[in-house]
A = this chain, B = another copy of it.
Amino acid sequence: MRFKTGTALTVIAVMMASQGLANEELREFALEMFSPLPSTVPALNDNIVTPEKVDLGKALFFDPRMSASGVFSCNSCHNLATGGDDNMPTSIGHGWQKGPRNSPTVLNSVFNEAQFWDGRAPDLAEQAKGPVQAGVEMANTPVNVIATLNSMPQYQEWFRASFPEDDDPVTFDNFARAIEAYEATLITPAPFDAWLNGNDAAMTEQEVRGLSAFLNAGCASCHSGVNLGGNGYYPFGLIEKPGAEILPEGDKGRFAVTETVGDEYVFRASPLRNIAVTAPYFHSGVVWDLKVAVEIMAESQLGAELSEEEVTDIVAFLGALTGEVPEVTYPVLPAETASTPRPTGEVIVE
């Protein structure tokens, strides 16, 4: 690895520069940067997770009638069959419109510090309210969502069971809370977790080498914590701006949230769990090859040119972050009634 420009990140590189650390030393250092997934669902802010709420949230997550057209559910763009995302550069939504940014995986997303590429939602409940209302995504309104839910007695019953203390449980806030509770269960323990937990055999030699290279290069400066990312904001192109195709000029990232000049082209560091099964990469979704993505990151964020071997090893390590998706029984949803609002594919231009 050669650093093209000096950076504070090289501190870590220096720390790790002595190659061939024993597994135990490497693990000790890794545990300072990362945490294995917990074996239980984390506590949520103002949202107690109960089995009833998780079941309701699952139904809502898979229900395409939460969109105006009846075409899209949460699962459409955060598909649990394909890594918790949709494997497209940017999602296709209502009226065949294209979303502005690549759809992030829902898997382990509960461990992100904030949601969306620009972190504009503090938690998954707040996040869940976004796409439902976005004109280019599900194009629905809270009023219509609630009317839809209230039209089906089964949903009313599920909301009562999920929010037993509420007089009027079918609300848009509770809709979002239930989805958050379900999503909080979507945790995917990976070989890396087993390795962090002390099982040397859980990762191959190459994957361990890749972890070393990952730390050595300084990737963990931004990609750390439980999700190896998702916990901080950094300018894309910290050292060297990537091309406009990868970093389109029009999307200034977190600047739109904070309106602070320093936040131009700042994005939340991508969480790296399941990264190997969630191509294409970056908020622009234009890079399909994980190897290329690693090279771009090294150059733009670290000013480093990694050797062919380092890149290959890092990609192998990233593969060890592919976890086991919890078994999901596909829900059978309540049937519409006479009062259920009818689906409409109409595109309203405001």
Contact = CB atoms under 8 A, between A and B. Distances in A.
Interface of A: 62-65, 69-71, 76, 79-83, 86-88, 92, 95-96, 98, 276-277, 279, 288-289, 325, 327-333, 335-336, 338, 342-343, 345, 347
B98 A82 contact: no
Given A81-B333, A96-B347, A288-B336, 7 more contacts: A62-B81, A64-B79, A64-B82, A65-B82, A92-B345, A277-B335, A279-B335
Given A86-B70, A338-B289, A330 B333 contact: no
Nearest to A345: B92
A62 B330 CA distance: 11
Contacts of A279: 335-336
Contacts of A277: 335
**What DSSP secondary structure best describes chain A's contact surface?**
loop
A338 B288 contact: yes
Name the 4 nearest CB pairs between A and B, nearest first.
A277-B335, A96-B96, A328-B330, A81-B333
Contact of A96 (B87, B88, B95, B276): B95
Contacts of A330: 80-81, 328-330
A325 B289 CA distance: 40
Contacts of A65: 82, 87
Nearest to A59: B81
B332 A81 contact: yes
